[in-house]
Amino acid sequence: MSALADRPVNPVVGVAVAHESAALHVTGTALYTDDLLGRAPGVLHAWPVQAPHAHARITALRTAPALAVPGVVRVLTAADVPGVNDAGVKNDEPLFPGEVMYHGHAVCWVLGETLEAARLGAEAVEVDYEPLPAVLTLAEAIAAESFQGAARTVARGDAAAALARAPHRFSGELEIGGQEHFYLETHASLAHVDESGQVFVQSSTQHPSETQEIVAHVLGLHSHEVTVQCLRMGGGFGGKEMQPHGLAAVAALGAVLTGRPVRLRLNRTQDITMTGKRHPFHASWEVGFDDAGRLLALRATLTSDGGWSLDLSEPVLARALCHVDNAYHVPHIEVHGRIARTHKTSQTAFRGFGGPQGMLVLEDILGRCAPLLGVDPTELRRRNLYAPGQSTPYGQVVRHAERLHAIWDEVLRRSDFERRRRQVAEFNAAHPHLKRGLALTPVKFGISFNFTAFNQAGALVHVYRDGSVLINHGGTEMGQGLHTKMRQVAATALGVPLQHVRLAPTRTDKVPNTSATAASSGADLNGGAVKNACDQIRARLAEVASRKLGIHPADVRFADGKVTGLGFHDAVIDFADLVRAAYAERVQLWAAGYYRTEGLHWDSTRMQGEPFKYFSYGAAVSEVEVDGFTGAYRFVRTDIVHDVGDSLSPLIDLGQIEGGFVQGTGWLTLEELRWDLSDGPNRGRLATQAASTYKLPSFSEMPEEFHVHLFERATESGVVYGSKAVGEPPLMLAFSIREALRQAAAAFGPAGRSVELASPATPEAVYWAVEAARRAPVPATDGLAGPGATRDRAAAGASANAATGGGAPSAAATGGALGGAAADRGSS
Cis peptide before 729 (omega within 30 of 0): no
Tell me if 329 sits within 8 A of 444, measured CB to CB.
Answer: no
Alpha-carbon span 311 to 303, nearest angstrom: 16
Q: In whole angstroms, give the CA distance from residue 127 to residue 800.
A: 50
- Residue 41 identity (one-letter amino acid): P
Sign of CA dihedral 757, 761, 763, 764: negative
Q: Residue 801's pLDDT is what?
A: 35
Note the pLDDT of residue 789: 38
- Burial readout 51-74 (b: 16 or more C-beta within 10 A, e: otherwise): bbbbbbebeebebeebeebebbbb
Count CA atoms within 13 Å of residue 475 on its CB side: 32
Cβ contacts of 403 within 8 Å, gap of 6 or more: 617, 643, 711, 714
**Ranges of H-type helices in 308-416:** 313-322, 355-373, 377-383, 401-414
8 Å CB contact between 331 and 162: yes
Kindly give, in sequence order, each residue whose CB lies less than 8 Å from that of residue 734, ignoring residues fewer than 6 positions away.
Answer: 620, 661, 662, 663, 664, 665, 667, 668
Whole-angstrom distance, CA of residue 632 vs CA of residue 392: 38
Residue 499, CA atoms < 13 Å, CB-side half-sphere: 0
What is the rounded CA–CA span in Å between residue 444 and residue 404? 8
Alpha carbon 394 to its chain centroid, in Å, reads: 22
Closest by Cα among 123, 18, 9, 1 to 66: 123
Bridge partners (DSSP) listed for residue 45: 112, 263
Alpha carbons 92 and 95: distance in angstroms, whole number:
10
Helix (H) or strand (E) holding 48: strand 44-50
Report pLDDT for 781.
Answer: 52
* Polymer length in residues for the chain: 828
Burial class, 222, CB count within 10 angstroms (exposed 0-12 / middle 13-18 / buried 19+): exposed
| Residue at 685: amino acid letter | R
Q: Which helix (H) or strand (E) is 142 found in, with range?
A: helix 138-144
d(CA 315, CA 234): 25
- The region that residue 479 occupies, defined by phi over 0 for left and psi between -120 and 50 for alpha, beta otherwise, is left
Task: Return the HEC string of 595-639.
Answer: EECCCCEEECCCCEEECCCEEEEEEEEEEEEEECCCCCEEEEEEE
Sequence-separated (6 or more) residues with CB below 8 Å from residue 317: 149, 152, 302, 304, 337, 338, 339, 354
Which residue in 728, 739, 756, 771 is the catalytic one?
728
State phi, psi for 71 to the nearest 5 degrees.
95, -10
| 3-class state of residue 209 by DSSP | helix
Per-residue pLDDT, 385: 98
Question: 76: which DSSP letter?
Answer: E
- Quick one: pLDDT at residue 707? 98
Beta strands in 483-613 (DSSP E): 501-503, 506-507, 556-559, 562-565, 568-574, 590-596, 601-603, 608-610
CA distance 575 to 391: 48
Distance CA 791, CA 446 (A): 34
Torsion of CA 275, 323, 768, 738, to 10 degrees: -100
Regions in the chain scoring below 70 on pLDDT: 1-2, 780-828
Phi-psi region of 538 (alpha: psi -120 to 50; beta: other; left: phi over 0): alpha
- Nearest to 745, CA basis, from 731, 730, 764, 722: 764
> Is 728 considered catalytic here?
yes
Pairing mode, if any, of strands 556-559 and 56-62?
A: unpaired
Question: What is the Cα–Cα distance from 77 to 613, expressed in whole angstroms?
Answer: 45
Cβ-contact 93, 346 below 8 angstroms: yes
Task: Report the alpha-carbon angle 819-823-825, nearest 5.
Answer: 145
Q: What is the pLDDT of residue 67?
A: 98
**What pLDDT, on a 0 to 100 scale, did the predictor assign at position 405?**
98
- Alpha-carbon radius of gyration of the chain: 28
Torsion region of 224: left, alpha or beta (phi above 0 gives left; psi -120 to 50 gives alpha): alpha
Residue in 53, 132, 283, 151 with CA at minimum distance from that of residue 823: 283
Give the per-residue pLDDT at 397: 98
Helices (H) and strands (E) in the chain — how many of each? Answer: 21, 29
Q: Please name the helix (run of DSSP H) or strand (run of DSSP E) that holds residue 265, with its range, or none.
A: strand 262-265
Decide the pairing of beta strands 614-627 and 434-447: antiparallel
Backbone angles phi, psi at 337, to 5 degrees: -130, 145
Surface-to-core class of residue 698, CB atoms within 10 Å of its CB (0-12 exposed, 13-18 middle, 19+ buried): exposed
Whether residue 359 contacts residue 174, with contact meaning beta carbons closer than 8 Å, is answered with: no
Please tell me the predicted confidence (pLDDT) of residue 784: 56
Strand partners, 622: 439, 638
pLDDT at 780: 66
For 528, list phi and psi in degrees, rounded to 5.
-65, -40
Q: Enumerate the β-bridge partners of residue 441.
A: 620
Nearest to 183 by CA among 33, 44, 285: 33
Q: Cβ distance 424 to 376 under 8 Å?
A: no
Name the nearest CA neighbour of 236 among 482, 472, 444: 482
Q: Which of 450, 284, 482 is nearest to 352 (CA)?
A: 450
Do strands 56-62 and 281-289 pair parallel, antiparallel, or not at all (unpaired)?
unpaired
